[in-house]
Structure 1
């Protein structure tokens, strides 16, 4: 616990022999004589004291102990001119009950010893300040000063300066990658501290020698020195030093693969009192690294976030580079490739700035790994060669193992088999010499991958060795890779039963890992980044008996679909903010305010500044998503943060008129899965690429209402029907309701406009049956389970613009311009006649975002007729335009929608492209629909493309008329679409097929 301190003036002048004790910053008057040297001791007992000696306003000297919060600092000042001096002490990091003692030991005539002592202390303070800056130039300047002190501070009176200078010089050399020179200076410092019998210094020297040995892969020697360091630091009561040594021991455990032990060691270090921000940030970054290795990505991200906040606050550029380098690895694991590349590059540039060659080598290695995962083998090999050169120069053996392992894989992919084999062999020797067990695991995995096409038995053996070692070490991410490798190998060998077994284990491991990722977009990207695991598992089911295969395949497909949405739905509760700590609510509001302010700034900036601000915006949105998740969890402590990974079809969910059509797109073939009348049927359909090729011209033609293109468009829609739905036609006899769970490019074409018969007058699917879409069967089941509680009727918003000319609005972040929508008011004008007193209509300036927040949660039906936009950079910034007022900006954005607590059985989003968003593998289209389902909606009406407002007004009028007669959303939409399609001027699918019912739309 630290206390806030104020400066207190000590009134009585100090004289020789006085001893005083304080717990606050002080100003002390010293009565002295010219020609005499003052010798004072400031003994810190649980605080950090910086002492400055003044003559009036002139600073004569500064002393800042490098001993942490415990220990003495000797102040010697040869006073040749002054009769009265002031000693000012500035106290920080004061522990509870911490104090410091000042003793004026002597005042003797000035001699050469006094002069040299003062000169060394000045140089040491200057050198340590440069050392802390940490960039290349500052380190070089610090080394010059340390070298001068080490060479000149001879004799018994100056041994302390000599020892500290040697030790600090060694550390500077480590930072610049000169390990052998560094060890010589560390040893010299240890000898001198030992001669002085200085426990603090001996502990520090042993710690530095141990840390250096670990970096060079000499783990036993490192632990020996660090154990001695811990003993001496405890004797010296050097809590900060104890924490540093515990941190270094934890790093060794991590390198040896004992991540659990390392994690608890880091946590023990973090719990010690007296840590400054630099150390605390370093420990947090290391803790994050270990949590990341264990697959605890959510905890790791939080540790890195806290570390970066501290490092930016104290401008610790080297520490920030290390943390960014580690954070980029999480982005890589989650599949945020661009963000990973930018962060690795930023880390590399910071390492270069501070002259840290070792750090630069690590960042270059990681850039090479990123290129490897992208399959850019030439760039990967170049980066790995560069990293190997740097790390070999600085003697960083553990990292050199990682470089050679990745380099060996790249060489194999480039056909350089002999070079690959020798590089893997070198990596293995280095790993065994350094006792680097995770490195051996990585070598076994990458060499098995490299050999998988050349030497089957060797590849299988490598994967198995990697699996066994990963399980021993608790390396779950590596275990997943080995399981996937074994499954793929067995499938190639035709051993389908073994392949299914391994692939099932891989899917289960992947599910275990994803639960440890932060709920929301990070979890979605994590699963998408590992899509190959599910793809392999789905194909491995080919060998099952025909009667078992369709159900097994559908359940596995469902295990891959809309999982993050299902997790969010599992955490949904109606308690609102009940039980949520005020601090979390305030944090959410503060983040919303920051996002709005930043959006306003973005519109005024040029391209360079916009790029920086957009990066800030991305971080704010991630933080907001995290806090919204905390609010949901805090409002219902019993709620889950994930849905059960295993999916089973319910036996009594569908009636005899309903069929579910689920797709899984893959190569070389895709799957059409039909659940109808209590059974599942499967059909092989063309691969993803063939379907995409057909869909591309359809999307271009369907969004442009060119009359003469209708025959060509209908022919393509019929061809698509034949490709993706006709194979199941015999199973759909008597079905009147089709519920689609789409995949991939199929999200680009509404199923309602598939053409069943292209001869003469075409028949569209929606003319025959009701059509709705669900993100997945699992999410549909979860949405239907929500009991309706809203008591009010319909709430509608339209044309949120001032009357008159010049009322266009610009959305700050996207810079899009939007003008009035006069037909949208016509769209809602007759709703009071249909719904009576239950209808509340807000249009023009009255259609505010504040009204939506206040009224939305109370209404069963919400209708918004306005503009919408999908933000290309971050889906969280996509939004729907409402009117601004004193309390809101009039932009109802996705990140805000996710924080709402709605209870609507139907939300109509009568705006452009509200079915749009960002496509993420497995999740489908993430945007407005996911946000509104998370917020509490049971069904939605959304649009697939920019709609024409007059035709939309007609369609919505017909929809509400039909819905009022029979409240079934899919049926009401079918009625409206058929009526608009039957009018000559709006027969093109552009006018009537844009809107689709999503969610529980067939439920009455």
Structure 2
């Protein structure tokens, strides 16, 4: 293969191919020199990172030496050989030259040129412009992953600005103050990258103040957007959103201009990061309208590209392709046109629009042949190669035509990318190019070379602390080792990938779904594949414990991906520490089998498996869910219910009985979350007739504590009238009256039930129980997870803010002494029909609400039966002699014993999530 690589390198370098390209934001800086020598004004940050970075897919590699491409040297004429200029003009030329190289993605060369300029200013005693060049150097060092050098440069820049020798330049001098503001922005970017978000936020606030003092709207708004990103990293999403809204208001008050176009575009990109895709689409559309009105060709194409990414995130494939096509047609910059075509190609491959994909190959190949060496050029080749490989695999699988590019041709493209990355001395692009080449070797079965390349790519990523890249290659290395039968080494590689992902929690969720990581495709499989390895071949107790921890980590990662917030409080908790009479059951659906881990207090972990392919397991689960409709055959329902019982519980029956287990706590996976465990059938009884049942997204998310009977007071809220297209719920009034008969309660009904009224009651009172009897829906999309008030829908993020508002009180001051909601009840809500991951929304609400326990329904059921079950539940629970899970079980059994309600449709959908005590 090494011989083939050498041949490929000497071949014609004009052939290339793309992948599933996804353009996303980066903190690149648009460096502008305006006015007198060397004034750098920071605009908004837009740019592109490798589409390949949007996937944790490829593999790492170890030592590949490629001869540098000729003609890319960063060496420039020495000062003595520059055209006749003054010394000042020569230095300015170097600064501009470095700027051009930086914007072209040639960071190592820019670094060399700016170093020469900085040295020239130092020799000339021009401390102000030396500070400016050091600021530039900080950006170049960051781009190359040289964090210590970046830190040294920015500290030296600020020290020069603080030096008494520079004060004559600085005091009252707008040039000096803007350089200081820019330096603080650069410092904030570095601090955020190095995991110091609080310090970054402070630096950006200082920069904003300096820009404001100078009347520099561009710099001030840019600093505010940076602050919003820092707030997201700290989990301050509400404050981040408020700040972005403030930026938007400021922009709206400005006349139409190029500044407003760029500001709105960056605001739209920031809103994508926050996860507000509809608002991002609206803001970007406004930016596009202004750009068209002002005939700003460059901004038109870049905004269209952002709109395409937003439409793609919203899964509006046709609209996304239309935007990409228009972006390519209107682009004035070659790289923008190429980005648009690469995105169009990757989306065409993803949606199997093969003819469209074929039509893009030659135009992209022609453009790649003309690209000057740069980081963006390396990324473009890697992305093209990935798309070409996916296209090759897709055409082979569907049999819809002959492949258009062969594997050797794709290898040639990647070899060229490696050459250019090495010549550029750019470790990030080196890692991507080498790792993707390792991926190709793995595909062709050349595992030894694939392993070396993957290890090399991983080593490069680790050397620059690029965790998002390292996780990708750790995963790839694990898959290679698994293929070669090195199971223990594979487990170690997968474990490192999971550990790296845990360190990336904030970064993963702060990136919009259309960019850097596609959770279900590139993050979730790492956890599942590790569990599969750990549970194969008679696992040890250590492997079982690690598998359980990995399942808990997967549940946490799914919830954080759902909310796009990495601020869930977790604490290690074992079932023994919570309830000696409760057993935890962890099922996981793997591609080739259904695994179950069983945790019984005081006993070793055990596991058992059913060897069925994932498709067959999921079909059975879908059939059982459909059969829970009363119109389906009882015989078929019981058969399917018994089948699932046999998978999950039959092997554990004796162990559960011997341990005298009373409560089963399920940590469910995939489609199992949409099924009521209470309705499982052992051949003679439903599961709810034998055990209390609770669900939890993970024991580590529990706050295990029982509520004292004398604390029980309820805030009951409901709608009885038809509103906003939803039917009336006449039984709600009786339901709330019944609750009031069992415990002290305050009621909000119909017109009085507004978001503001609910928030006010939550803030001003400390009700342990909050009961919401209204229409609502749980979905895998946070925007489609809502409850209905009299005048509007409250989505999950708004509901979270309302329910947790008592924690910060009316003045935003934390009030830790106020007790949390002990029990949150959603009556008449349901999971979204046809949404396989809908129960994720329910789990998300349960966790993020701050409530210790959540009682909800998987589907809406008859008004009368719901009222009766709720009345029975509160009556039992108010006695203070049993757990919430036991009270719910008794209420369900009482209902199923009534002939008109004995079908599981009426009693099974009520589920308890969280603390069951």
TM-score category (smaller protein) = 0.5 to 0.7
Question: Who is 1:405 aligned against?
Answer: 382
Q: Which of 338, 363, 366 pairs up with 1:389?
A: 366
Q: Aligned pairs, how many?
A: 727
Two-structure CA RMSD over aligned residues (Å): 5.1
Q: Which runs of 5+ in 1 are unaligned?
A: 1-64, 73-92, 94-131, 135-179, 569-620, 630-640, 802-807, 811-816
Cα distance in 2, alignment partners of residues 863 and 231 from structure 1: 69
Question: Who is 2:63 aligned against?
Answer: none
Q: Does 1:425 align with 2:333?
A: no
Q: Which of 886, 906, 912 pairs up with 1:991?
A: 906
Q: Does 1:315 align with 2:258?
A: yes
Q: What are the within-5 Å matches in structure 2 for residues 287-298 of structure 1?
A: none
- Once the two structures are overlaid, the 10-residue window that deviates more, 944-953 or 466-475, is 466-475
Q: Which of 442, 461, 476 pairs up with 1:470?
A: 461
Cα distance in 1, alignment partners of residues 335 and 109 from structure 2: 21
Cα deviation for residue 558 of structure 1 reads: 1.9
Aligned partners of 1:914 and 1:942 also within 8 Å: no
What is the CA deviation profile of residues 14-46 of structure 1, one whole-angstrom value per residue up to 9, with x for unaligned ones? xxxxxxxxxxxxxxxxxxxxxxxxxxxxxxxxx
Cα deviation for residue 719 of structure 1 reads: 2.0
Aligned partners of 2:509 and 2:560 also within 8 Å: no
Cα deviation for residue 973 of structure 1 reads: 1.6
Cα deviation for residue 684 of structure 1 reads: 0.8
Question: Who is 1:355 aligned against?
Answer: 332
Q: What are the within-5 Å matches in structure 2 for residues 90-105 of structure 1?
A: none
Aligned partners of 1:463 and 1:486 also within 8 Å: yes
Change (3 A) 1:276 1:991: farther
Cα distance in 1, alignment partners of residues 841 and 516 from structure 2: 13
Q: What are the within-5 Å matches in structure 2 for residues 134-145 of structure 1?
A: none
Greater CA radius of gyration, 1 or 2? 1
Cα distance in 1, alignment partners of residues 586 and 106 from structure 2: 56
Question: Who is 2:299 aligned against?
Answer: none
Cα deviation for residue 970 of structure 1 reads: 1.5
Question: Who is 2:669 aligned against?
Answer: 743
Q: What are the within-5 Å matches in structure 2 for residues 750-829 of structure 1?
A: 750-757=676-683, 763-780=685-702, 783-784=703-704, 791=711, 793-799=713-719, 801=721, 808-810=722-724, 817-829=725-737
| Secondary structure, aligned partner of 1:947 | coil
| Secondary structure, aligned partner of 1:729 | helix
- Once the two structures are overlaid, the 10-residue window that deviates more, 788-797 or 738-747, is 788-797
Cα distance in 1, alignment partners of residues 731 and 577 from structure 2: 44
Q: Does 1:434 align with 2:434?
A: no
| Secondary structure, aligned partner of 1:494 | coil
Q: Does 1:691 align with 2:617?
A: yes
Cα distance in 1, alignment partners of residues 420 and 616 from structure 2: 48
Change (3 A) 1:379 1:439: farther
Question: Who is 1:108 aligned against?
Answer: none
Cα distance in 1, alignment partners of residues 352 and 148 from structure 2: 33
Cα deviation for residue 743 of structure 1 reads: 0.6
Cα deviation for residue 729 of structure 1 reads: 2.2
Q: Does 1:897 align with 2:800?
A: yes
Change (3 A) 1:305 1:282: farther
Cα deviation for residue 398 of structure 1 reads: 3.1
What is the CA deviation profile of residues 380-437 of structure 1, one whole-angstrom value per residue up to 9, with x for unaligned ones? 7876764553354352433222233344445455271221232233223222332233
Question: Who is 2:786 aligned against?
Answer: 879
Cα distance in 2, alignment partners of residues 237 and 793 from structure 1: 74
Cα distance in 1, alignment partners of residues 447 and 175 from structure 2: 53
Cα distance in 1, alignment partners of residues 352 and 147 from structure 2: 30
| Secondary structure, aligned partner of 2:689 | helix
Cα distance in 2, alignment partners of residues 192 and 400 from structure 1: 30
Change (3 A) 1:281 1:688: farther
Aligned partners of 1:670 and 1:684 also within 8 Å: yes
Cα deviation for residue 513 of structure 1 reads: 1.7
Cα deviation for residue 976 of structure 1 reads: 1.6
Question: Who is 2:526 aligned against?
Answer: 533
Cα distance in 2, alignment partners of residues 648 and 773 from structure 1: 15
Cα distance in 2, alignment partners of residues 238 and 795 from structure 1: 69
Question: Who is 1:175 aligned against?
Answer: none
Q: Which of 489, 493, 504 pairs up with 1:513?
A: 504
Cα deviation for residue 693 of structure 1 reads: 0.3
Aligned partners of 2:751 and 2:790 also within 8 Å: yes
Cα distance in 2, alignment partners of residues 931 and 776 from structure 1: 14
Change (3 A) 1:715 1:855: same
Question: Who is 2:826 aligned against?
Answer: 909
Cα distance in 1, alignment partners of residues 37 and 98 from structure 2: 23
Question: Who is 2:633 aligned against?
Answer: 709
Change (3 A) 1:567 1:392: closer
| Secondary structure, aligned partner of 2:682 | strand
Aligned partners of 1:800 and 1:848 also within 8 Å: no
Cα distance in 2, alignment partners of residues 538 and 269 from structure 1: 49
Aligned partners of 1:907 and 1:937 also within 8 Å: yes
- Once the two structures are overlaid, the 10-residue window that deviates more, 989-998 or 377-386, is 377-386
Q: What are the within-5 Å matches in structure 2 for residues 128-277 of structure 1?
A: 197=86, 199=88, 201-213=89-101, 222-230=110-118, 245-246=133-134, 248-254=136-142, 256-259=144-147, 261-262=149-150, 274=174
Cα distance in 2, alignment partners of residues 912 and 964 from structure 1: 23
Question: Who is 1:949 aligned against?
Answer: 863
Change (3 A) 1:306 1:984: closer
Change (3 A) 1:483 1:566: closer
Question: Who is 1:973 aligned against?
Answer: 888
Cα deviation for residue 754 of structure 1 reads: 0.9
Q: What are the within-5 Å matches in structure 2 for residues 473-622 of structure 1?
A: 473-517=464-508, 528=520, 529-541=522-534, 542-543=536-537, 545-563=539-557
Cα distance in 2, alignment partners of residues 283 and 360 from structure 1: 32
Aligned partners of 1:790 and 1:903 also within 8 Å: no
Question: Who is 1:455 aligned against?
Answer: 446
Aligned partners of 2:458 and 2:473 also within 8 Å: yes
Cα deviation for residue 508 of structure 1 reads: 1.4
Q: Which runs of 5+ in 2 are unaligned?
A: 1-31, 47-70, 162-169, 202-223, 231-243, 276-305, 393-402, 807-818
Cα distance in 1, alignment partners of residues 739 and 635 from structure 2: 36
| Secondary structure, aligned partner of 2:608 | strand
Q: Does 1:931 align with 2:834?
A: no
Question: Who is 2:209 aligned against?
Answer: none
Cα deviation for residue 486 of structure 1 reads: 1.8
| Secondary structure, aligned partner of 1:747 | helix
Cα distance in 2, alignment partners of residues 288 and 662 from structure 1: 43
Aligned partners of 2:774 and 2:789 also within 8 Å: yes
Change (3 A) 1:263 1:911: farther
Aligned partners of 2:378 and 2:420 also within 8 Å: yes
Cα distance in 1, alignment partners of residues 374 and 847 from structure 2: 51
Cα distance in 1, alignment partners of residues 271 and 344 from structure 2: 13
Aligned partners of 2:475 and 2:497 also within 8 Å: yes
- Once the two structures are overlaid, the 10-residue window that deviates more, 770-779 or 874-883, is 874-883
Change (3 A) 1:719 1:68: same
| Secondary structure, aligned partner of 1:869 | strand
Q: What are the within-5 Å matches in structure 2 for residues 332-347 of structure 1?
A: 338=313
What is the CA deviation profile of residues 609-652 of structure 1, one whole-angstrom value per residue up to 9, with x for unaligned ones? xxxxxxxxxxxx98xx79xx7xxxxxxxxxxx7546xx573644
| Secondary structure, aligned partner of 1:840 | strand
| Secondary structure, aligned partner of 1:912 | strand
Change (3 A) 1:403 1:306: same
What is the CA deviation profile of residues 516-563 of structure 1, one whole-angstrom value per residue up to 9, with x for unaligned ones? 455899899876541122122212212564454433322222232234
Question: Who is 1:595 aligned against?
Answer: none
Aligned partners of 1:660 and 1:741 also within 8 Å: yes
Report the structure, 1 or 2, having the larger strand content.
1
Aligned partners of 1:793 and 1:861 also within 8 Å: yes
Aligned partners of 1:751 and 1:771 also within 8 Å: yes
What is the CA deviation profile of residues 220-278 of structure 1, one whole-angstrom value per residue up to 9, with x for unaligned ones? 75444323444667899999976774565345434544255447757988998857999
